Amino acid sequence: MAKTDLKSLTINELEDFIISLGEPKFRAKQIYQWLHEKRVSSFDEMTNLSKSLRAKLAEEAKISGLKIIEKHESSKDGTVKYLFALDNDNVIESVLMKYSYGNAVCVSSQAGCRMGCGFCASTINGLEYNLLAGEILSQVYMIQEDIGERISSVVLMGSGEPLDNYSNVLKFIKIANSDLGLGLGQRHITLSTCGLADGIDRLREEDLQITLAVSLHAPNDEIRNKIMPVSKKYDMNRLLTACKNYSDYTKRRITFEYAMIKGVNDSRECALELAPKLKNMLCHVNLIPVNDVKERNFIKSSEAAIQEFASVLNSKGIETTVRRKLGSDINAACGQLRRGYLNNRR
Ligand code: SF4
């Protein structure tokens, strides 16, 4: 039977696990502290546990971990891209972004992805593995340790669709948010989805205060279908209804991500068509100059087109910003570093 990864358990789940081993409940808190405060990687280091309990844990459980295999630092803005190896030989990537208000880490929730977004390198070979909560957490822990500074926010915006790995991602959020863990406020956690409307409905019912970012990338289904296959399952009407319900219920502002792709979705008409669909929703739009992906035929929009698109939306009362592009000299876009590494390995 597969061993239980203790780093992926919430404190309540860890208590249940410890009780199932015939141990007193308070041991769970000790183990949780070893894993999430002191961040040890072996049971032998848990020196306030008896030798027999440590041996029992080693038999029944494991502690997931990662190894840094590559690290690239941008000379332009200090962004650092990490390539990590998982215990099962998969590789994933994470990005450290340094802002004036603190350090943010963009984590991966899956190795590969099955969503098929047309501008994304992560999806080219499909989904390979759903990360455990402990493996998502480890990306933050390892980067924090590597730089010796606190990470103040986390975005689930690396490889993978977080709502396609729902239960592991939810556990990650709970552990990262727990006072005995990272102690990261929910408002400092952003989950980015390509638009799984059912998942957004489910997330709403969790009653969390995290920030939801939705990759919209088009003003209508016709264009969205060309870029994002997910829209054939959840059309814009269904998606925007889920978003409206989410923001009405949580009172949290939704971020709509919009990758600007030359000649595809970046015209003035597109902006005029999009504006009324977002009216009356607590939201803002983030325009992103799309990253060139060799395997795909998308080119980023001109600066003038991006500025015009932003000014049309702003003039219609939809708050819109243009995202600063970080780490452009180190393949910091979703999936590019991992893809380069795998191509070389193959
Ligand atoms: S953009 Fe995100 S959801 Fe879309 S294919 Fe890439 S990793 Fe998956």
pLDDT, tens digit, 9 for 90 and up, residues 145-172: 999 999 999 999 999 999 999 999 999 9
- With CA atoms as reference, report the closest residue to 205 among 168, 233, 242: 242
- Residue range 285-298, pLDDT digits in tens: 999 987 766 666 78
Whole-angstrom CA distances from 129 to 55, 90, 171, 173 are 29, 8, 17, 19
8 Å CB contact between 170 and 205: no
Lowest-confidence segment of 114-128, 161-175, 317-331 by average pLDDT: 317-331
Which residues line ligand 1 at a C-beta cut-off of 6 Å?
113, 115-117, 120, 122-123, 159-161, 194, 334
User: 23 an active-site residue?
Assistant: no
> Ligand 1, atom 3: nearest CA belongs to which residue?
161
Looking at every residue in the chain, the average pLDDT score rounds to 92
Smallest CA-to-CA distance from 135 within 193, 88, 189, 79 is with 88
Judged against a pLDDT cut of 60, whether residue 331 lies above it is answered with: no
- Write down the pTM of the prediction: 0.93
pLDDT at position 182: 87
Closest-lying ligand 1 atom to the alpha carbon of residue 116:
5
Express as a percent the part of the chain with pLDDT over 70. 92
- How confident is the model over 85-108, as a mean pLDDT? 94
How far apart CA 23 and CA 92 sit, in angstroms, is 36
Please write down the HEC assignment for all residues of 172-226.
Answer: HHHHHHCCCCCCCCHHHEEEEECCCHHHHHHHHHHCCCCEEEEECCCCCHHHHHH
Query: What are the tens digits of pLDDT across the range 171-219?
Result: 999 999 999 888 999 999 999 999 999 999 999 999 999 999 999 999 9
Query: Helices 26-36 and 11-20 meet at what angle, rounded to 10?
Result: 130
Catalytic residue among 117, 243, 283, 334: 334
- Ligand 1: distance of its center to the CA of 19 in Å? 39
pLDDT above 60 for 330: no
- Give pLDDT, residue 346: 57
Q: Which residues contact 343 (CB under 8 A, 6 or more apart)?
A: none
Q: Is 117 tagged catalytic?
A: no
Mean of pLDDT values over 61-82: 93
**56 CA to centre of ligand 1 in angstroms:** 40
Q: Cβ contacts of residue 270 below 8 Å, gap of 6+?
A: 218, 219, 223, 309
Report, as an integer, the average pLDDT of 252-274: 95
- pLDDT, residue 323, reads 82
**pLDDT bracket for residue 326 (50, 70, 90):** low
The owner of tokens 């390198």 is 121
Ligand 1 atom 6: the closest Cα is on which residue?
120
What is the best residue among 94, 113, 257 to mutate for testing ligand 1's pocket, by most ligand atoms within 8 Å of CB? 113
